[in-house]
Amino acid sequence: MSDILAGQAVRISEHVVRVLAPNPSVFTGPGTNSYLLGRPGGDLLVLDPGPADEAHIAALLDAAQVMGGTIRDIVCTHTHEDHSPGAAPLAARTGARLIGNPAPADGFNDLSFCPDLVPADGSVIACGDVRLRVIATPGHVSNHLCFLLEGENLLFTGDHIMQGSTVVIVPPEGSMREYLASMEKLSALPIAAIAPGHGTIMHDPQHVIAATTRHRLARESKTLRALRDMQRATLDDLLPRVYDDVPPFMHAIAKLSLHAHLIKLVEDGTITEPLPGTWQA
Ligand SMILES: [Zn+2]
């Protein structure tokens, strides 16, 4: 991915072109992937327009022009700041329809995203030759959707599965329990490859889904073991033990996912939270 420049259109498959947004960071890896779907000369769909960055929106419009197509639909996997703020300005330039779930008002989501269509789980979005099956995948955030491109069986995972890093789960809109249930749902689908919101195409989808699930369950077991040793503990007590394999500069982020693990263990009835912010095994 390092040799791919932001703004450069890269053909991924017969119906898919990727344009990398210029927003690399610890959360976004090389940046957000925006995808253009459709056949040259036909109607086009933009999946995850990315940040409201003028240069990135210009790059998407240029890529559409090179394809000789017209952007009709703009679809968002979810409404975090690196995925959906480009939707409104791109719609203003193209007249395209906005599709996705509205943003929860938790302070971490892009309230500028106002969808024209809120698609039902399992429904199909049709745009030109493209047929995208909608798969509700709450977990990273409650409004998260994945999309399966019919024919190619390419799964667009947004932030549900990233290439090269672990997804952060921020409660209460993020839920570890829902995240794992969404993984199980994906494991039953005929997926040929994964096109993530960050990073490169993954060609062994069922291995990725199984390995991601195992990684989360291993972290959950480690959380439970640490809490049983300490009997009672806060997030700050648990953090250095449960994430002793993660560099300290990542601990502030890891703390959010640790909280999500503890909430799941309470929901499962495995541990309790006798005082707010104190857990007991
Ligand atoms: Zn996100």
Q: What are 223-234's pLDDT values in tens digits? A: 999 999 999 999
Residue 40 has pLDDT above 60, yes or no: yes
What is the pLDDT averaged over residues 193-212?
A: 97
Q: Ligand 1 centre from 278 Cα, in Å?
A: 28
Q: Is the peptide bond before 89 cis (omega within 30 degrees of 0)?
A: no
Q: Ligand 1 centre from 66 Cα, in Å?
A: 29
Give the CA count within 13 Å in the CB-facing half-sphere of 123: 10
H-only helix segments in 139-250: 176-187, 205-230, 235-242
Q: Ligand 1 centre from 171 Cα, in Å?
A: 13
Is the sign of the CA dihedral 156, 159, 161, 164 positive or negative?
A: positive
The answer to whether the predicted template modeling score (pTM) of the entire model surpasses 0.85 is yes
Helix (H) or strand (E) holding 87: helix 87-94
Q: Ligand 1 centre from 28 Cα, in Å?
A: 9
Q: Ligand 1 centre from 34 Cα, in Å?
A: 13
Q: Ligand 1 centre from 255 Cα, in Å?
A: 16
Residue 2 has pLDDT above 80, yes or no: no
Domain boundaries, given as residue ranges, for the chain: 9-203, 214-280
Q: Ligand 1 centre from 139 Cα, in Å?
A: 10
CATH topology of domain 214-280: Arc Repressor Mutant, subunit A (1.10.10)
Tokens standing for residue 222: 């480690």
Q: Ligand 1 centre from 16 Cα, in Å?
A: 21
Q: Ligand 1 centre from 280 Cα, in Å?
A: 30
Query: What's the pLDDT tens digit per position in 154-186?
Result: 999 999 999 988 899 999 999 999 999 999 999
Instruction: Supply the pLDDT for residue 5.
Output: 87
Residue 143 has pLDDT above 90, yes or no: yes
Q: Ligand 1 centre from 157 Cα, in Å?
A: 10
User: CA-to-CA distance for 271 and 281, rounded, in angstroms?
Assistant: 5
CATH topology of domain 9-203: Metallo-beta-lactamase; Chain A (3.60.15)
Residues with C-beta atoms within 5 A of ion ligand 1: 80, 159
Instruction: Supply the pLDDT for residue 173.
Output: 95
For tokens 């990727």, the residue is: 18
Instruction: Supply the pLDDT for residue 203.
Output: 96
Tokens standing for residue 281: 């095994």
Instruction: Supply the pLDDT for residue 1.
Output: 46
User: CA-to-CA distance for 47 and 156, rounded, in angstroms?
Assistant: 8
Instruction: Supply the pLDDT for residue 3.
Output: 63
Q: Ligand 1 centre from 166 Cα, in Å?
A: 12
Instruction: Supply the pLDDT for residue 160.
Output: 98
